[in-house]
Amino acid sequence: MLSSSSSFYSVLLVLLLCLHSSDAAAAKIGQGYRLVSIEETPDGGIVGLLQVKQKNQIYGSDITNLQIYVKHETEDRLRVHITDADKQRWEIPYNLLPREQPPAMKLTISKSRKDGGGSLQVSDYSSNELIFSYTADPFSFMVKRKSNGDILFNSKSDKSDPFGEMVFKDQYIEISTKLPKDASLYGLGENTQPHGIKLYPNDPYTLYTTDVSAINLNTDLYGSHPVYMDLRNVGGQPNAHAVLLLNSNGMDVFYTGTSLTYKIIGGVLDFYFFAGPTPLAVVDQYTAFIGRPAPMPYWSLGFHQCRWGYHNLSVVEDVVANYQKAQIPLDVIWNDDDHMDGHKDFTLNPNNYPRPKLLAFLDKIHSMGMKYIVIIDPGIAVNSSYGVYQRAIANDVFIKYEGEPYLAQVWPGAVNFPDFLNPKTVQWWGDEIRRFHELVPVNGLWIDMNEASNFCSGLCKIPKGKQCPTGSGPGWVCCLDCKNITNTRWDDPPYKINASGTQVPIGFKTIATSAYHYNGVLEYDAHSLYGFSQSIATHQALQGLEGKRPFILSRSTFVGSGKYAAHWTGDNKGTWEDLKYSVSTMLNFGIFGVPMVGSDICGFYPAPTEELCNRWIEVGAFYPFSRDHANFYSPRQELYQWESVAESARNALGMRYKLLPHLYTLNFEAHSTGAPIARPLFFTFSNYTDCYGLSTQFLLGSSIMVSPVLEQGKTNVKALFPPGTWYNLFDMSQMIMSKEGKYVTLDAPLHVVNVHLYQNTILPIQQGGLISKEARKTPFTLIVTFPAAASDGQAKGNLFLDDDELPEMKLGNGYSTYVDFYATVSKGTVKVWSEVQEGKYALDQGLIVEKITVLGLDGSAQAATLEVNGNKVDDASKIQISAAEQKHLDEVEDGAHKQKTLMIQVMGLEIPIGKNFAMSWKMGVKA
């Protein structure tokens, strides 16, 4: 029988090992480390040696000596890197995500200074923006903002704190930071967040790439992005910063509202702090480090149609014809795996998708400007007569288990997984894509199931004496003979992350975590990099084919994926809740540096209602990536299936296609500075705290606000209008003035979506069309917005145009044009002008401005004495000027006076986009 004291300690240890809920953040483990040595490095950083104070065996033994390396890599980026001082630990490969290497481990105990001198107790190391300071015993560190002393990160543990000192074991690392109560946090994904974009205290945040349907809430999904943005407003002054923990191992992050605790099952602590101080500056600094978002081809911003279950080519042809008949825009038609022979990658089904007929179809749609994209899953069918598999075996490209390719099951049955960390695999993959492109000239690739997804778990064999898969029933039922692998510390680590939201083993329905990659890298460490490494290999292959700009859609993503791929949010449901969740997930990915993002419009499964599909296309028409996609087992839901949905689609997509030049300019801005295409309102209105948690509206760029209906049965929408004047983009005679910021109830009958344009903006739009190739040739209108009835005002906008097949998106290559537009109103004179860089491309395309619409002018006078480029416009000119009074849709605010405002339109212009122009008029004639 145990003594009472040993019994108590046994029970305590069991409790510590079993705590994985939010209570786990409260369990304090150990006494941390002490700093015993520190010195400057030749590159301007500091490096120190930490020693554990007292070892324990909770989650394994502590690592005795740690090296800490700190460096201000730029004025606004600080790195804090902590690892084992005595031996190399797993880190994300430096060739996969390029960054500076920390110095070689060289500090020894003999360099230790005595602890009594005081110089080691607290010290500061600063740049112009950030200050790093530390306490020696127990070791903790703090990152502060230099301008106002705000503490951005503080790992010190006090007795009253729910978290303990830093813990660093082989398979368990823990570190925490205190947070102020009023901090608004965003990020830590990918997950479906029911509470909206702001992180919600005590919700679980687990990061580990998993094929768990997006219908599961608060669960680790397809991507891993261990970064958060922190927005604070102190004394009316907003400041944003971001914290990235660059680590690919599984982790739980516990957010209490006043603290954040990381619990990680491997790797190193590699923190990057981005100083901001604006949200746009944060994503600029973040993407400057992880990689700028990929430039997207123009057509990819058009509308896309997909379905799992287009059984043969005639169905696909019928879909394209029906979109044309319904006069709904369509740029890209997709195939899920229906085109494949037995679900095998890089093949065609000879009966349902005969190559001669498919090539004839592609010739037809390509001549119209339409594009075609197909899916590829990473699992390669184990089939000795299958050329792709034969070449894979010959090149030794697969992930291994005990010396043999690791066996799994996906759609074709038994598969092996390519190891994209192996340079030979990257070459082989590129060659297979080249071969397939010669077979079928696809315009992009969709890489799915790359978490990696596996229908089985553990160590499997192909069963003898039975067919696998059977060919009937759901294809996702495991039919291999499998046994669980629990005898290694990699398959059964001491700390259990909240994987799949249920603490399943981390090898559940994926590659066994004791399998290994090239150079002996464990799947345990590299798991969450799988989709990222596949995106890089696919991007390299596509770019090498014809030298064109690649388009890749990837389900699984990691830090830096946006440099190579777009993303959709995975398997969602055709429900009103899922429609609402799609907005938050889209906005999160903009923060993650993956701006080309959207959700399956109308839901992947089950069947959406007609009303829901109406409302979903009204939101989805304004996703950066806009695609309708449905499940094999769901009824058809193309937008023409219901006449009411077709009407909503013509309306919403009609506006999208007018906005394509703006969306493409935002794509250029994203590629240049990381700025999200779709953004939370706080990106523009960061001093307006009412919008910090707003998850039901969003911005496209800085000044177009979408306020959709997200609830069943509603014919109006309560929308928040930040301070300023807003103009209805569908009816520019309608405006809303918001002095301090307020909610306004807007009419929104079934076919109406509310989209508003903010003051001080110049928005270039075109006439739209049914396909982007034609739409982008049409004349431009410039919409100029001033604050309502302002006697003085300014507005500006921009436009980027290029040959979108070129791999690079930049100025100076002879195939691009960039235009800045400016406008002022002052002392009764309105001026609109442009400044053009590299005008040749726009001139060669023959693009012109035919109309300029100016909103918000003082309504007491109309336009007169128009001049264009210094020449007065006489009555005989075909240029026409019209004026219309604008309507205030909102109620008058207390004490506010509604002044008469005017919309002036100048039509019949033929101003070349590629040349500077200047236009002005005096407001002279009384209305």
Which amino acid, one-letter code, is at 273? F
Specify whether the CB–CB gap between 728 and 756 falls below 8 A.
yes
The one catalytic residue among 338, 525, 571, 838: 571
> What are the DSSP calls for 90-124, one per residue?
----TTTS--PPPPPP---GGGPPPGGGSTTTEEE
Q: Can you read off the two tokens belonging to residue 815?
A: 């195939």
Distance from C-alpha of 646 to C-alpha of 325, rounded to nearest angstrom: 11
Task: Give the β-pairing of 918-926 and 829-837.
Answer: antiparallel
Please give the radius of gyration of the chain, using alpha carbons only, rounded to the nearest integer: 29
Handedness of CA 810, 812, 814, 817 (dihedral sign): positive
- Do 80 and 106 form a contact (C-beta atoms < 8 A)? no
The DSSP 8-state label assigned to residue 223 in this structure reads -
| Contacts with 641 (C-beta within 8 Å, 6 or more apart), sequence order | none
Closest CA to 907 of 831, 849, 851, 868: 851
Token pair of 851 as six digits: 């109309």
Q: What tokens were used for 141?
A: 């560190």
State both tokens at 763.
Answer: 């928005």
Torsion of CA 601, 605, 611, 613, to 10 degrees: 20
The helix/strand/coil state of 877 is coil
What whole-number distance in Å separates Cα of residue 179 and Cα of residue 274? 16
- Alpha-carbon distance values, 327 to 206, 330, 648, 730 (Å): 44, 9, 12, 19
- Residue 826, CA atoms < 13 Å, CB-side half-sphere: 7
From CA 154, how far away is CA 184, in angstroms rounded? 17
- The span from the CA of 50 to the CA of 33, in Å, is 6
Q: What type of residue sits at position 845?
A: Q
Q: Which residue among the candidates 150, 161, 432, 451 is catalytic per the annotation?
A: 451
- Collapsed DSSP state (helix, strand, coil) of residue 767: coil
Q: Are 191 and 150 in contact (CB under 8 A)?
A: no
Q: Classify 879 as helix, strand or coil.
A: coil
Q: What angle do CA 503, 509, 512 make, to 5 degrees?
A: 90
Q: Which two tokens stand for residue 57?
A: 């065996």
Of 332, 199, 174, which is closest to residue 264 (Cα–Cα)?
174
Q: Are the CB atoms for 188 and 226 separated by under 8 Å? A: yes
Percent of residues in the chain assigned helix, strand, coil, to nearest 5: 20, 30, 45
- In the annotation, is 838 catalytic? no
Contact 417, 531 (CB under 8 A): no
Contact 598/616 with Cβ under 8 angstroms?
no
- 451 tagged catalytic: yes
Is residue 772 a contact partner of residue 369, using CB atoms and an 8 Å limit?
A: yes
Paired sense of beta strands 269-274 and 237-245, if any = antiparallel
| Measured CA distances, 675 to 76, 271, 287, 563, 672 (Å) | 17, 22, 9, 13, 8
Rounded Cα distance, 661 and 798, in Å: 10
User: CA–CA separation, 371 vs 387, rounded Å?
Assistant: 27
- HSE (CB half, 13 Å, CA atoms) of 299? 26
571 is catalytic: yes
Catalytic entry in 419, 448, 491, 802: 448
- CA-based nearest residue to 180, from 158, 145, 151: 151
Whether residue 469 has a cis bond before it, omega within 30° of 0: yes
Catalytic site positions? 448, 451, 571
